[in-house]
Structure 1
Amino acid sequence: MRFCIEAFANASVREVWCAHHNPAIAQRWVRSDDWFADRCEIDARTSGAFRVRIRSIGSQAAYEIEGVYVELRPPDLSVQILDGDMHVRTEFVSEGEGTRIRQYVESNAMSDPQAQQACWQGVLNNFAAYFTGRGQNRARK
Structure 2
Amino acid sequence: METANNTLLTVETTVNAPITKVWDYWNAPEHITQWCQASDDWQAPAAENDLRIGGKFFTTMAAKDGSFSFDFGGEYTDVEQYKRIAYTMSDGRKVQITFTSEGDFTHVTETFDAEQSNSLEMQQAGWQAILNSFKKYTGEN
Q: TM-score category by the smaller chain?
A: 0.7 to 0.9
| Greater mean alpha carbon deviation, residues 99-108 or residues 41-50 | 99-108
Q: Name the aligned partner's letter for residue 36 of structure 2.
A: V
Q: Deviations over 1:19-44 (max 9, x none)?
A: 11101101110012242111100001
Per-residue deviation, 1:49: 0.2
Query: Structure 2 residue aligned with 1:42, among 46, 49, 60?
Result: 49
Q: Deviations over 1:57-93 (max 9, x none)?
A: 2124221112011100001000011123221110000
- 1:3 maps to 2:3: no
> 1:89-108 residue pairs with structure 2 within 5 A?
89-108=96-115
For these two proteins, the number of residue pairs brought into alignment is 134
Per-residue deviation, 1:103: 0.6
Q: Between Structure 1 and Structure 2, which shows a larger proportion of strand residues?
A: 2
Report the TM-score when normalising by structure 2: 0.87
Gaps of 5+ in 2: 1-6
> 1:101-140 residue pairs with structure 2 within 5 A?
101-109=108-116, 111-134=118-141
Gaps of 5+ in 1: 135-141
